[in-house]
Amino acid sequence: MNINATLIGQSIAFFIFIYMVKQYVWPPLIAAMEERQKRIEAGLLAAERGLSEQAEAEQRAQELISQSKDQAAEIIANASKQASNMVEEAKDVAVQAADKVKAQATAELEQDKARVRNELQEQVSGLVMQGVNAVLSKEVDSKTHKDMLAKLSQTL
């Protein structure tokens, strides 16, 4: 255990090692660690932001859903109202058409009735005229009594 030049050798080696560690070991390692720390920090921040964004989006989606539900209900209500309106209108139209048809039919019926009555009148008057002719064939000249005959057939 003698103090000798080993002391100086160790001092020199010590300084050289300190220098080399300071130059080539410490900076890259600490830089990598700090860089990673920053990245982790950024990642955590991004995750947090993502979570809050997700919550926001969910809320927005909920709002949209309730909105569209309201809209749908409105549309359905409108549609049913419209449908009942249409039914009413159709009913009115149908009633009108039916009335029209009925009126027409009544008119036709009246016409037919008039026509049949005329025909009957003519036939009756014809028959009467025949009968009268048969009765009066000798005394009544159809030509001279034409006016009287016409008046008669008219009143029949």
**Contact set with other proteins (CB under 8 A):** 1-11, 13-15, 17-18, 20-22, 24-33, 35-36, 39
Minimum Å gap between C-beta 48 and other proteins is: 21
CB-wise, 10 or 111, nearer to other proteins?
Answer: 10
CB-wise, 5 or 134, nearer to other proteins?
Answer: 5
Q: Please list, in sequence order, all residues whose beta carbon lies within 8 angstroms of the beta carbon of residue 149, skipping any fewer than 6 positions away.
A: 129, 132, 142
Minimum Å gap between C-beta 28 and other proteins is: 4
Residue 29 burial class via C-beta count within 10 angstroms: exposed 0-12, middle 13-18, buried 19 and up: exposed
CB-wise, 36 or 69, nearer to other proteins?
Answer: 36
Minimum Å gap between C-beta 45 and other proteins is: 17
CB-wise, 11 or 62, nearer to other proteins?
Answer: 11
Residue 28 burial class via C-beta count within 10 angstroms: exposed 0-12, middle 13-18, buried 19 and up: exposed
Amino acid at 107: A
Q: How far apart are the first and last CA of the chain?
A: 174
Minimum Å gap between C-beta 37 and other proteins is: 9
Asked if 153 and 129 count as a contact pair (C-beta separation under 8 A), the reply is yes
